[in-house]
Structure 1
Amino acid sequence: MKLSASYHKGYSLPEYSNFLLIVNRPIQSFDLTLSKQTIGKTSWEQVFKYPEYGLSLFYSTLGNKEIFGNELALTYFFKIYILNRDKLQLYNRIGIGLDYVTKRFDLETNPSNVAVGSHVNIHFNCRFGGTYALSEKLNFNAGLSFDHLSNANTAEPNLGINYLTAFTGFSYYLGNKTEKRRVELPEHEPKSNWYLFGSVGGKHLQSLSTKYFVVNSLSLEYVRETFRILHFGAGVDFFYDSSVPAFLEKDGREFRQQDYFQTGIHISQTLRYNRFSLSLQEGIYVGLKNEVVQKVMYNRGIIKYNLTDNFSVRLAMKSHLHILDYPEIGIGIKLK
């Protein structure tokens, strides 16, 4: 086990034109983590060069205490070592979790906060850093960190807050280090599979409305396991969006029954680690178009966990480029 502490300082990244007029202070953050490095119990741990995982308690200012307040977040993170040379290590760390923000949008008391519409949000973190061993148990750490917080479009407004910081700190090993296991890995044999996914989600009209609408999707995907950790795929999607009539009415447009549905095709790239996988999908509407946003392209970010060889659960975020549409949860079955 390893205990780490770091101090961050940096600046907000503007999401809209007048954001910098509201921000009046630099970002300052403090991070306390407890982590454990893998030792090679599975082939996946060796493939990823003995990654590290753990929990992070993160506190940060947000650039304007009166409007945005401060943030307290708890995230789970996964760290991959890019370079490991004696005393020097370079790594990439990605984490996700929940936060509590002390100030949110209020039409009467805080109308200037058009970035955060809820106290509880999703916090995403990506870091690139380096570690230098000062002794057998004490390390010095430094690097760059990107952080994003938003509520996944569950409340309005939801522009979110992004910030980039430089950090420095120390980590200390609790107890003795465990010897890493090293065994010869079997050669990867590429194979192909078909998957069927069904998902459900919720959205609202992005007009400070509290009413939620059900959305559903059904997807059929072909996946080629080209490499052990990197897979490529292509598929077809069928969407149902119950918010379409209300949105078109609000926009002064005519609604047709077929407007409930959208169809599309997509390609995907998947990074796999044991039972977990992270996928990016890029799709285009074909046939039944999306009359709400009137965009040609849609995207998904997906976290999937394989319960068995044939069944899986997943969490996805559907968007149109950088504009989030809605979150969804679903189940999947391997057909072949």
Structure 2
Amino acid sequence: MKLGLMAGLLVGKVAVARAQEAAPPMPLVVGAYAQSSFIMAHTPAIRHLVNSHPTGFEINLQRQTTGGADWHGWYKFPKLGLALVYYDFHNPTLGYAFAASPYISKTFSRNARHDLSFRLGAGLAYLTNPYDQQTNHKNSIASSAINATLQMRLEYDRAITPHLGLLVGLGLNHYSNGATSRPNFGVNLPTLLLGLNYHQQRPTTFVNTFAAAPTEVGHNFVNLSTSIGFVQRNAGDHTKYLVNSVTAAVGRRVNRKSNLLLGVEGFYDRSLTANLNDTTRAGVTKPDVKKAGVFVGHELLFGRLAFVSHLGFYVYAPYKSSTPYYERLGLKYHFTDLLFGAVDLKIHRGAADVIEFKAGVKL
């Protein structure tokens, strides 16, 4: 009995000492991948553009986390990286795409010979041939050169030498401007990729595997925020209409990785006023275009960064311009314990409504 107790205490002391061990430098991984894709016809409005098979090339730079922050161990030591992507749509209407996407890659299975992981990234893309009413009116995918890009990917890296790995992957690349300009049906590119990774160090040494849960777990908080965004009604109206929102939410840190939220918010989209002015007969009372909603939300936490997802329902919407519900996906960053910023995409039934640039406080 005493022997077992002493062994338990010894294991506990070793674990504590290891948790307090300084993290080694994060090894660098450099990759180069060829990509082959097709354009998904997610709406009839782009079917005339799905007659080509885009191909691309990616340069990838990433760091393998080693335990320098507590959340590294909570997520089984993910990789942090930057993907630089080039695409040739092989279609003169669409031209070429250049994108840069910071990302995080979560490993499911890892040893000295292989790594199976899932990547999620978001960034900016430049499309060379956006819609133009006079010269490129067939491009219903994107009406602006600058677009947001989202990247999801399942990857398998197999060691072929101590420093070189063969990578195969299956992913999805998405480009859209979030209705800032129209037309904006966006493009989805299911992608098969093949390439090589150079590993500075393999296998990697990890520390702080059993980092303690933060003191915020089980505590409640309040978020207050406001946002701005801009939308275009249609291709014939080039005005960028201002969209505002204000939000108040209560939240709770439920575990190491997650916050849950419940909130209320109000919206004022000035493009709806323009719609009413165009469609309402003189002398007819116009409904209020302002809207109010309630939402439930989740924040997946990576240190000061969080991936945000909300599902909301309009409780006040006299002007029925959309579905009675909305979704929101975004990235949130805490500059301090009090101040945060976020970039969100608000969605109605899979269609972008507005990109929101948000600032707020956590109390």
Q: Normalising TM by the smaller chain, what interval?
A: over 0.9
- Alignment counterpart, residue 236 of structure 2, candidates 208, 217, 232: 208
Aligned equivalents of 1:74 and 1:281: distance in 2?
26
Aligned residues: 332
Please name the residue that 2:298 is paired with.
Answer: 269
Q: How does 1:242-257 map to 2 (within 5 A)?
A: 242-252=270-280, 254=284, 256=286
User: Quick check: 1:6 aligned with 2:33?
Assistant: yes
**Partner SS state of residue 259, structure 1:** coil
Shift of 1:184: 3.1
Query: Deviations 1:2-48 (Å, cap 9, x if unpaired)?
Result: 21011111211112226344332212111111111111111111111
Please name the residue that 2:256 is paired with.
Answer: 228
> Contact conserved, 1:27 with 1:165, CA < 8 A, in 2?
no
- Alignment counterpart, residue 17 of structure 1, candidates 22, 39, 44: 44
> Contact conserved, 1:148 with 1:163, CA < 8 A, in 2?
yes
One-letter code of the match for 2:297? S
Please name the residue that 1:133 is paired with.
Answer: 159
Shift of 1:252: 3.3
Shift of 1:159: 0.6
Q: How does 1:105-116 map to 2 (within 5 A)?
A: 105-116=131-142
Aligned equivalents of 2:212 and 2:168: distance in 1?
36
> Contact conserved, 2:142 with 2:184, CA < 8 A, in 1?
yes
- Alignment counterpart, residue 85 of structure 2, candidates 58, 74, 97: 58
> Contact conserved, 1:69 with 1:103, CA < 8 A, in 2?
yes
Shift of 1:86: 3.5
> Contact conserved, 2:153 with 2:171, CA < 8 A, in 1?
yes
Q: How does 1:1-336 map to 2 (within 5 A)?
A: 1-17=28-44, 19-62=46-89, 64-174=90-200, 179-187=205-213, 189-252=217-280, 254=284, 256=286, 259-286=288-315, 288-289=316-317, 291=319, 293-335=321-363
One-letter code of the match for 2:302? Y
Distance 1:318 1:255, change over 3 A: farther
Q: Which has the higher strand share?
A: 1
Q: State the identity as a percent.
A: 25
Aligned equivalents of 2:301 and 2:318: distance in 1?
31
**Partner SS state of residue 243, structure 1:** helix
Q: Is there any run of 5+ residues in structure 1 with no aligned partner, and where?
A: none
Aligned equivalents of 2:46 and 2:341: distance in 1?
38
One-letter code of the match for 1:285? Y
Aligned equivalents of 2:326 and 2:202: distance in 1?
49
Shift of 1:255: 5.5
One-letter code of the match for 1:278? F
Distance 1:290 1:204, change over 3 A: farther
Distance 1:157 1:181, change over 3 A: same
Q: Is there any run of 5+ residues in structure 2 with no aligned partner, and where?
A: 1-27
Aligned equivalents of 1:113 and 1:187: distance in 2?
50
Shift of 1:304: 0.8
Larger radius of gyration: 2
Aligned equivalents of 1:272 and 1:201: distance in 2?
25
One-letter code of the match for 1:119? A
Shift of 1:69: 0.9
Aligned equivalents of 1:290 and 1:172: distance in 2?
58
> Contact conserved, 2:70 with 2:208, CA < 8 A, in 1?
no
Query: Deviations 1:124-159 (Å, cap 9, x if unpaired)?
Result: 111011111112111111110100111121211111
Shift of 1:312: 0.9
One-letter code of the match for 2:113? K
One-letter code of the match for 2:121? G
Aligned equivalents of 2:36 and 2:359: distance in 1?
41
**Partner SS state of residue 264, structure 2:** strand
**Partner SS state of residue 276, structure 2:** helix
**Partner SS state of residue 330, structure 1:** strand
**Partner SS state of residue 184, structure 1:** coil
> Contact conserved, 1:245 with 1:255, CA < 8 A, in 2?
no
Query: Deviations 1:174-222 (Å, cap 9, x if unpaired)?
Result: 4787632235322463222121111122222124322122221111111
> Contact conserved, 1:244 with 1:292, CA < 8 A, in 2?
no
Distance 1:47 1:211, change over 3 A: same
Query: Deviations 1:270-304 (Å, cap 9, x if unpaired)?
Result: 10100001111111111x20626242101211211
